Amino acid sequence: MTSTNSASPSAIAPEALRAFADVIASARAAIDPDLYALARARIATLLGVADAAPAGEKIRALPSWPDSPLFSDRERACLAFAEQFVLDVSAVSDEQRAALAGALGKGAAAFGQALYAIDFELRLRNAFAQLFGADPIPAPSGATPGALWPTLEAMMPVIARLAALDPLTTELVRLRGARIHSCRMCKSLRNARAFAQGGGETTFDKIDAFEQSDLAERHKVALRLVDAVLFRPGDFPSGLAEQLREHWTPAQIVELLLDIARNALNKFAVAMGVDGVGVGESTGFYDTDERGEMVYGLARPELASA
């Protein structure tokens, strides 16, 4: 199989990478630049990834932000929320949400969206460097950034239109991320084509303990990549790059990475406590249309093996 180092991810998915770059630019413009710099520097440290942090006394004092007199109550509320967002978004508390709302008012939602953009910019850049030896995310276009949430919404279908992966792999990856982030809405949904292709719920039941399951090795490798990006972004497990090259083409690896980032927008909903809105007791079925838009409310599909 082709080495990932012999293919340029920039050439594999230019539209999707540009859409993600637009999100990065919009996030920078969406919140106070001082808060952005503090949050970004702290997130890079927590992830264990390299990033060019601005110089300054506050940046140097970030490890002691809870007690340092250099930080205001507003900054502490934002940093506490940012840390929880990055380390375990499912454990964001009502008190942390209330403190963020008290600090930023109506700007709390934009801050949460910007945290997603910072978090996954750093994770993606690092993953691409480890797997391809390159950073394919394009530089800012120079155009005035658009509003952050519409830019995020525009990114989602562009990534969804990538077609190197089969529906079952895409869904296994999505559900692994949903369970790691404990997104109630994401966990309640199943892609109709993947459900039929995989033989029903018995396949998805293997995701939590996938290493001990009888899932195909190629699917285990894909799920190892999910875990590496979400748990160990600064230090991928030894041998994972070689495993990926053995089972997946460069185009498929790029799509896996971008899918992981796209799916992780659920962190914003979980962080804000709105991931359970509209979730019922039964499993819902959806599919993705040719535009990359999700179509909900589908009937339970017949299994391919039936």
pLDDT one-digit tens code per residue, 274-293: 999 888 788 999 999 999 99
- Map out the domains of the chain with their CATH numbers: 4-154 (1.20.1290.10), 164-298 (1.20.1290.10)
Distance CA 304, CA 306 (A): 6
pLDDT per residue as tens digits for the range 130-179:
999 999 999 988 899 999 999 999 999 999 999 999 999 999 999 999 99
Tell me which amino acid residue 104 is: L
What per-residue confidence (pLDDT) applies to 3? 44
pLDDT, residue 305, reads 53
238 by Cβ neighbours in 10 Å (0-12 / 13-18 / 19+) ranks as: exposed
Mean pLDDT of 120-126: 97
pLDDT digits (tens, 9 = 90+) for 241-267: 999 999 999 999 999 999 999 999 999
Q: Rg (Cα) of the chain, in Å, rounded?
A: 19
Q: Specify the amino acid at residue 179.
A: R
244, 169 contact by CB (below 8 A): no
The sheet carrying 284-288 orders its strands as 189-191, 284-288, 294-298
pTM score: 0.95
